[in-house]
Amino acid sequence: MLTSRTFVRRTRAGAVVKVVREHYLRDDIACGAAACRLCPPAAANGSAPGPEARPSGPASSLCPGPHFLLPDTNLLLHQIDILEDPVIKNVIVLQTVLQEVRHRSAPVYKRIRDVIQNPEKHFYSFTNEHHRETYIEQTRGETSNDRNDRAIRVAVKWYNEHLKKIEDEEKIQVVFLTNDRTNKEKALEEGITAYTCEEYIKSLTANPELVDRLACVSDEGKELEGGKIIFPEHIPLSKLQQGIKSGIYLQGTYRANRENYLEATVWVHGDGEENKEIIVQGLKHLNRAIHEDVVAVELLAKNEWVAPSSVVLQDDGQNEEDIENEEEKENILKTSVNKDMLRPTGRVVGIIKRNWRPYCGMLSKSQIKEARRHLFTPADRRIPRIRIETRQADTLEGQRIIVAIDGWPRNSRYPNGHFVRNLGSAGDKETETEVLLLEHDVPHQAFSQAVLSFLPKMPWSITEEDMKHREDLRHLNVCSVDPPGCTDIDDALHCREIGNGNLEVGVHIADVSHFIRPGNALDEESVKRGTTVYLCEKRIDMVPELLSSNLCSLRSNVDRLAFSCIWEMNHKAEILKTRFTKSVINSKASLTYAEAQLRIDSTTMNDDITTSLRGLNKLAKILKKKRIDNGALTLASPEVRFHMDSETHDPIDMQTKELKETNSMVEEFMLLANISVAQKIYDEFPEFALLRKHPAPPPSNYDILVKAAKSKAIILTIFASFFLSFQNLEIRTDSAKALAESLDKAESPTFPYLNTLLRILTTRCMMQAVYFCSGMDNDFHHYGLASPIYTHFTSPIRRYADIIVHRLLAVAIGADRTYPELTDKHKLADMCKNLNYRHKMAQYAQRASVAFHTQLFFKTKGVVNEDAYILFVRKNAIVVLIPKYGLEGTVFFEEKDKPTPKLEYNSEVPSLTVEDTTLCVFDKVKVNIMLDDSNIQHQKMRMVLVEPKILGSDMPASLSAEASTKDEPEKKKKK
């Protein structure tokens, strides 16, 4: 039967259009019950089976008989955690519900789809909207919500009547679950068995642990009765939108401050210049916003503006009622500040979109025995603590758990949430790795069967077909140079003399795009992962291992498919000709950096590969010099390497990474290949080339660097020359070349590490390098490399961007077909956004992993005494760097139970005077390092300042530091 659904809709342009959809009603839709003989049997298409004939769900004291559950939309949205529990089975999900869920929350929709797919769960999605007897039309005066509620009730009724017809001794009942009071009343009136979720879950006497996972969404009104109201009300969305349009409010992304829980910034998404930051300070002004939410803020009057505080504050109040205490803390923020430092300040008036996700963290058990309400402390310090209700606090103590936020009523100091999952005990390596992968949103599940099905069949060999568009380069003396233990080799090099006195240099990159064809499940999974994530002892692959470590990896003495970039160069390293081709190579050797270095330096070895390496090395040096002359920056960031115990996989030693000449040799050619490819694909596809840019940082970013350099000059006059160079720098940071030169000049014979420190600080001033689509942007410059155009081509095994670049280049040289998505600049721009996000997250995960291993390392080490340099000075703390371990830590000068030492902060220099000792940037200090595991959640590196001694404080232990992973700008991956 045909009917049509009509609705009116407003288009984005403001027009009102009437939309009419044809809607077909059928009478052959199965109810899904296995015992049902009235319905046509479901097509055996391998989809998950429906509810069981004898529902085997958990025993409920409310309805002892066999029953199916039928939840409504809100219940599904809020209590998805419960529904995902293996105990809950035999649930009917109506199409109406599914559609509403899809509309309101994409993540929940995905989760429920997954549950429906799972054959163990016996979930069944019933297309009630297309069933002749359950389809209803919206009646006059009924809102679409009411209509959907009614549709759900009609379906429940139909089910009950339908199941009655099954001739069976025991009737199956359908239980309607809703938390909506009016809906439940209406259902009961109509003779439907209906319970709230709470009632039902509590009735599952055999499974009391489920109650913990109930989301606490009680009526707002009820909550408000008790307790005093802490927060101002949120303004409703419709009013917010009007306000934003008229400019009273500003819309932006809320970013909580990692170091100070009473401060946050809101990034206003404006066009161009309006893109600004607004500071929000104090609990009331923060008004229950949580990190990453999209919020509306109202600017305060100018006389109420504040400066970003340099105080480090952590929320560690145990008691909820200590609001007065908070006010006290807030006052700390309002210390007198320089007028110039004042920034636009605002308060959050409403939430436009919550961006809650399940958070990893630990339970802070309530001190009251037998208490059920506990606070949960998330691992991410930007997330406030969450109050959860659980009866298994004893088992959960010391475990890493996942908690989801349900809501944040106005009278509650903390948001309410519920327990989701237990990850394992804290400090455990597996658990911690899982936590950091989850916290950084790194997809790390095993590859699905669908993805694996697109892998080539083994044994694999190169076919005639493959050779058609390929050049056979197997005769060349190609070799690869990589760090030790590398199994995903994606680049190899060669260099040889050709007749005319010139050199032929080739960079051969694994041809991953040959194996990953656009649009299939393998491709989709790779684009979702975006990058391979390297942790200290684990690698989360972007592509399945068969490809990453075998078929694509350019191992020695096997034939491998490659994408080659071949130049003809003269001995001055000037490029005479550039050629790209798909090829087949056979690497003659896989070397480590050290091995390659040995060969180059050796006087006895003179084989083809060694000559080739020497040629490459010679050219690389010239290339590097040229690049630096052009103004490319050489920056430093301490990189750490762990030596692992082969048995326990515990770190036994820790060193900063050492760079050899061969590192820079490989790097130089990779840069060259990337630039050549970038130029080629941009020439060929000016609108949709995927490129990488590194914007020049705004001059204000350098403030801290210039100030720091100056301070050194003021205090230590021996740095006169250095001072001058920084005077120059002040004017000339606009060009990378000037900066590079100033950095080179900033040497001091008495302080050799100074240069490195400056370079580390400079790195912090840099912007992030990002991928972008050439058709959507017009600034292509790569500031750090001083190259007008750049892309990533050389690591397709571990970066998805390179695969796209490979595809573009293959189309450009006629070696492959194009496909629609490749030439859609909007899709490409979206992809860039995801890739940039994944790269950032991968880096944070990597840093977190290093931090964790550092802690493991110091756990075994005990107390260590080391030299350190002050990197930054804060109002009540200093940030130090220990060069030996590349470890960075914040040192506090206040502690709760101790008298606060007299602190004097000078923001001009910047320096901090503690009692009589003045500490300023770049000062060399000595610290004792040890692991502070008093708080298992955030194990800290506790540091004791040994030199200089602070007068008046005989207890140096009052100075603690903790290893922190700073948001430093992406360190440049040159490969």
Partner 1 sequence: MASVVLSEAEKLYIVHGVQEDLRVDGRGCEDYRCAEVETEVVSNTSGSARVKLGETDILVGIKAEMGTPKLEKPDEGYLEFFVDCSSNSPELEGRGGEELGTDIANTLYRVFSCENSVDLKSLCIDPKEHCWVLYVDVLLLECGGNIFDAISVAVKAALFNTRIPKVRVLEDEEGTKEIELSDDPYDCIRLNVDEVPCIVTLSKIGYRHVVDATLQEEACSLASLLISVTSKGAITSMKKVGKGSLDPESIFEMMETGQRVGKSLHIALQKILDEEENLGTSRPKVGFLG
Per CB under 8 A, residues contacting partner 1 are 4, 6-10, 14-16, 18-20, 137-144, 242-243, 245-248
Q: Among residues 100 and 263, whose Cβ is nearest to partner 1?
A: 100
Contact between 667 and 596 under an 8 Å Cβ cutoff? The reply is: no
In angstroms, give the least distance from the CB of 245 to partner 1.
6
Q: Name every residue whose Cβ is closer than 8 Å to that of residue 696 and which is 6 or more positions away in sequence.
A: 734, 736, 767, 781, 783
In angstroms, give the least distance from the CB of 148 to partner 1.
12
In angstroms, give the least distance from the CB of 143 to partner 1.
6
Q: Among residues 16 and 44, whose Cβ is nearest to partner 1?
A: 16
Q: Among residues 24 and 819, whose Cβ is nearest to partner 1?
A: 24
Q: Is 613 helix (H, G, I), strand (E, B) or coil?
A: helix
Alpha helices in 92-176 (DSSP H): 95-104, 106-117, 144-164
In angstroms, give the least distance from the CB of 701 to partner 1.
37
- For residue 444, the tally of other CB atoms under 10 A from its CB is 17
Q: Among residues 140 and 896, whose Cβ is nearest to partner 1?
A: 140
In angstroms, give the least distance from the CB of 153 to partner 1.
19
Q: Is 966 helix (H, G, I), strand (E, B) or coil?
A: coil
The per-residue DSSP string of 873-935 comes to E-SSEEEEEETTTTEEEEEES--TTSPPPPEEEETTTTEEEETTEEEETT-EEEEEEEEE-SS
In angstroms, give the least distance from the CB of 249 to partner 1.
12
Contact between 280 and 345 under an 8 Å Cβ cutoff? The reply is: yes
Distances (CA, A) of 345 to 279, 308, 348, 685: 5, 9, 10, 45
Q: Among residues 241 and 431, whose Cβ is nearest to partner 1?
A: 241
H/E element, 539:
strand 539-540
Q: Among residues 5 and 949, whose Cβ is nearest to partner 1?
A: 5
- 804 vs 527: CA distance, rounded Å: 10
In angstroms, give the least distance from the CB of 138 to partner 1.
6
In angstroms, give the least distance from the CB of 970 to partner 1.
41
- DSSP strand pairing (373-378 vs 491-497): unpaired
- 932 vs 368: CA distance, rounded Å: 26
Q: What is the DSSP letter of 86?
A: T
| Residues paired with residue 182 on neighbouring β-strands, in sequence order | none
Q: Is 658 helix (H, G, I), strand (E, B) or coil?
A: coil
User: Integer distance in angstroms from the first to the last C-alpha of the chain?
Assistant: 62
Q: Among residues 8 and 44, whose Cβ is nearest to partner 1?
A: 8
Q: Among residues 14 and 46, whose Cβ is nearest to partner 1?
A: 14
870: tokens are 């002050």
Q: Pick the closest to residue 812 from 455, 565, 525, 442 (CA basis).
A: 565
- For residue 271, the tally of other CB atoms under 10 A from its CB is 6
Q: Among residues 147 and 255, whose Cβ is nearest to partner 1?
A: 147
Q: Among residues 47 and 144, whose Cβ is nearest to partner 1?
A: 144
Q: Pick the closest to residue 929 from 875, 888, 876, 874 (CA basis).
A: 888
Q: Among residues 15 and 43, whose Cβ is nearest to partner 1?
A: 15
Q: Among residues 144 and 606, whose Cβ is nearest to partner 1?
A: 144
Distances (CA, A) of 816 to 470, 510, 582, 803, 936: 11, 16, 10, 13, 54
Contact between 899 and 871 under an 8 Å Cβ cutoff? The reply is: no
Q: What are phi and psi of 740, to 5 degrees?
A: -60, -40
Q: Among residues 8 and 458, whose Cβ is nearest to partner 1?
A: 8
| Residues paired with residue 264 on neighbouring β-strands, in sequence order | 256, 280
C-alpha torsion sign, points 949, 955, 957, 958: negative
Q: Among residues 245 and 528, whose Cβ is nearest to partner 1?
A: 245
In angstroms, give the least distance from the CB of 8 to partner 1.
4
Residue count (the chain): 975
In angstroms, give the least distance from the CB of 304 to partner 1.
22
In angstroms, give the least distance from the CB of 288 to partner 1.
25
In angstroms, give the least distance from the CB of 72 to partner 1.
19
Q: What are phi and psi of 642, to 5 degrees?
A: -105, 140
- For residue 147, the tally of other CB atoms under 10 A from its CB is 15
Distances (CA, A) of 765 to 264, 527, 744, 745: 21, 30, 17, 19
- 963 vs 888: CA distance, rounded Å: 6
In angstroms, give the least distance from the CB of 5 to partner 1.
9
Contact between 523 and 517 under an 8 Å Cβ cutoff? The reply is: yes
Q: Name every residue whose Cβ is closer than 8 Å to that of residue 120 and which is 6 or more positions away in sequence.
A: 86, 89
In angstroms, give the least distance from the CB of 770 to partner 1.
35
In angstroms, give the least distance from the CB of 137 to partner 1.
8
Q: Among residues 248 and 903, whose Cβ is nearest to partner 1?
A: 248
